Amino acid sequence: MEMVIEADGLKRSFGDVDAVRGVDLQVAKGEIYGFLGPNGAGKSTVVKMLTTLLTPTGGSAKVLGMDVVDQADDIRLRIGAALQDASLDDKQSGREILRMQGALYGLTKPEVEQRIDELSTLVEFDAIDRWIRTYSGGMKRRLDLAASLMHNPDLLFLDEPTTGLDPTSRARVWEEVRALNTELGTTIFLTTQYLEEADELADRVGIINAGQIVGEGTPDALKKSVGADVIQVRVTEGVDAAITALNQLDVVDKVEQGPRALLISVSDGAASVSPVAVALDEAGATVAELTLRTPTLDDVFLDLTGDRIGATDDSGGTS
């Protein structure tokens, strides 16, 4: 497998603040890698080192096979980056920003115009010639994303691309990220504080806390590592018969009687709901409520750090 990002013991201190304390990373070509962590965890600092904007104070990293310190200029021409603190000039139009970016990457004028045409669905058509001062936060984010894509980079860094966006704009960015990955094969390194976002988009997730990676894996594997799925059943009549029947099922690991409901531990929630429902029915139990609770990445974070991630996720999604 071809690695496009390889970091080895990467460190960065600011005075006596150890922002990044030895990070190892391996991201393969074609992956969407989600870098998940709370405020101040060190996500942007890692991204800035990988995009050559900050020099590491320890360790080393290669991006597209090139060293982030010795070959910074070559790396910069090959990657795209939409960073968290992107500052856009209010008195320019979206089109002007995109033209400037195209020129920066050495595209010819016709190439620039063609690329703007292709990307203008990302920014809104009527907005592309308006001053950026009139843009909403979501439009600025999407313009910034479009600017990072002008030169068709093979590797794209997105630092919290949807923070502060409303659910509709967030869904749009998600769609674009997915399309870039599946249609063009762009490798994407994306930081986020949103568990849902990592869960939704990433092939693999690295969890960073206080400058160190505390867990890594596919969202599913991370969630499985926390433990079993739980089917919660409120039985109003025939509890004893229900427990006896459930204990005889192969898919059931354990049945506990909680204060309000039976808690049935299963290894695969989705595949177990139906046999559990059938068994309850055959046992003659009256079921008032049956819910499946699968572990979330929030449970993973709690398990790994003893703390909730703390970001308020207003995307309205559940996982």
Please state the φ and ψ torsions of residue 57, each to the nearest 5 degrees: -95, 0
Q: Does the footprint of ligand ATP cover residue 192 (CB under 6 A)?
A: no
Q: What is the DSSP string of 143-165?
A: HHHHHHTTT--SEEEEESTTTT-
Contact range with ligand ATP by CB under 6 A, out of 37-45, 98-106, 242-250, 297-305: 37-45
208 vs 21, 95, 231, 280, 314, CA distance in Å? 10, 36, 30, 43, 21
Q: 75: closest CA among 6, 175, 162?
A: 6
Our CB check for Mg ion shows the closer of 3 and 53 to be 53
Stretch that binds ligand ATP, among 13-21, 65-73, 234-242, 263-271 (CB under 6 A): 13-21
Question: Using CB under 5 A, which of the segments 1-9, 44-52, 139-147, 203-211 binds Mg ion?
Answer: 44-52
CB 77 within 8 A of CB 107: no
37 interacts with ligand ATP by CB under 6 A: yes
Q: What angle do CA 136, 111, 174 make, to 5 degrees?
A: 40
The reply to whether 45 sits near Mg ion by the rule CB under 5 A is: no
CA distance 142 to 132: 12
Among 19, 25, 31, 44, binds Mg ion (CB under 5 A): 44
Distance of closest approach, residue 41 Cβ to ligand ATP, in angstroms: 4
Shortest reach from residue 241's CB to ligand ATP, in Å: 51
Binding mask 43-82 for ligand ATP (x = CB under 6 A): xxx-------------------------------------
Residue 51 in contact with Mg ion, rule: CB under 5 A: no
| Burial environment of residue 164 by CB neighbours within 10 A (0 to 12, 13 to 18, 19 or more) | exposed
In this structure, what DSSP letter does residue 240 have? Answer: H
| Footprint on residues 231-270 left by ligand ATP (CB under 6 A) | none
Which residues are at the interface with ligand ATP (CB under 6 A)?
14, 17, 19, 37, 39-45, 84, 193
Which residues are at the interface with Mg ion (CB under 5 A)?
43-44, 84
